[in-house]
Amino acid sequence: MKTIKKHLTAAIISAQLLLHFIWARRREKRYALAVITAIELQFGIPISPKVKAKTITSYAIYTPIVCDAFMQIHGRNTNRMEKKRLVYYFVMASMYDDFFDYHTLTISEIAALTFSGDDYIPQSDDQYLIRAIHRYLLSEVKLKEDYLGLFEAMFTAQKDSLQQFNAAITAEELLSITHRKGGFAVLMCYFYMDEVGNNTEKNCWYLLGSIIQMINDLFDTYKDSRAGIYTFANHFTNVSAIKQAYTQQVQLLQHEINAIHAPAKQKRLFNYTMSAVYCLGFLAIEQLQAIENRYGSLPNFMTLSRKDLIIDMERYANRKRWIQLFFTYGNNLTEVK
């Protein structure tokens, strides 16, 4: 009877989460575009179509899934001012990604732009806009010293990620970069919320970010392998090591979730939302396991086709398996106190 009740609860919550995401994602895409347009008008600087698209996609996923989930701990969804800050952040983050990915600025130039304040004279419209957005966000956050410290840590993680083009990178280095790069990027969102959560909540933000980065690596094995980027998903020699590294982060997140002090209903919803996210990683690992089983060991991913490595979430079989994993892992979380 207890098992049936758990599955029924999971079914109801999963339906609620799915409907919320579908409805909110459409709405947030429109909102993000409106804010981006306002930024362009305010500063008289056009934002590139690529940055616009990346910002809208990231914001429309993170807000209803991640930020709303954390705010549900406090009995509400993300409010309008928080959403505005998030759009600004994703514009800035997308522009920074271009600087690093396409080497349009050197590391020292990016550092000067980021940390020199008024002493740095922007050399382009993009640099001027990034500085303006950074100033706006800094004026909005409450814990300014902590925020600036995190900003510097995120910059260091992004800089360290350039080591991922080196085939000699160690497993320890890869995991450190992966955890910090993803963890700090998502933890930034914590500072844009009006709620000042405790250290347990902050740990959840960070751990979820590290898991999301690992999921990205698991889903991008085809693209990363051909770009010469080494990740834990395409550089570890066997699936057992990949799964162990991923499971360890999930277990750390589960431990922190159980330590959160919140009403049982709100905490349970948060539990299930987090499991809906990290089950995507377990789905991807199962696909890698099938490849390892087929060949006897993990082959060089450069020898595999796009069809072998791409995980198509439009496929019914993948969606069905994701739901099955959601029920399994969601119901195996430590009982909410």
User: Is-contact 109 131, C-beta < 8 A?
Assistant: no
Predicted confidence at residue 59, as pLDDT, reads 95
Predicted confidence at residue 335, as pLDDT, reads 46
Burial (CB count within 10 angstroms: exposed 0-12, middle 13-18, buried 19+), residue 255: middle
Predicted confidence at residue 215, as pLDDT, reads 98
Which tokens is 308 given?
């072998």
In sequence order, the 6+-apart residues with CB closer than 8 A to the CB of 202 are 187, 190
Predicted confidence at residue 26, as pLDDT, reads 87
In sequence order, the 6+-apart residues with CB closer than 8 A to the CB of 337 are 258, 264
Predicted confidence at residue 337, as pLDDT, reads 41
Which amino acid appears at position 296 of this protein? G
Nearest of 128, 126, 154 to residue 50 by alpha carbon? 126
- Ordered mean pLDDT values, 10 residues apiece, the chain (337 residues): 58 64 82 97 95 95 93 94 98 90 83 83 91 94 94 94 95 97 97 92 97 97 95 96 97 94 89 92 97 95 93 90 84 52
Predicted confidence at residue 336, as pLDDT, reads 41
Predicted confidence at residue 6, as pLDDT, reads 60
Predicted confidence at residue 4, as pLDDT, reads 56
Distances (CA, A) of 52 to 47, 65, 72, 85, 253: 6, 20, 28, 15, 31
pTM: 0.92
Residue with tokens 């079914």: 11
Spell out the domains of the chain, with CATH numbers in brackets: 2-331 (1.10.600.10)
Per-position DSSP letters for 36-53, written without gaps between them: HHHHHHHHT-PPPHHHHH
User: Is-contact 178 154, C-beta < 8 A?
Assistant: no
Residue spans of alpha helices (H) in the chain: 2-43, 49-62, 68-72, 80-101, 107-115, 125-140, 144-160, 171-191, 199-219, 221-227, 232-235, 239-259, 264-295, 306-309, 316-331
Predicted confidence at residue 105, as pLDDT, reads 83
Backbone φ, ψ for residue 268 (5° rounding): -65, -40
Which amino acid appears at position 327 of this protein? F
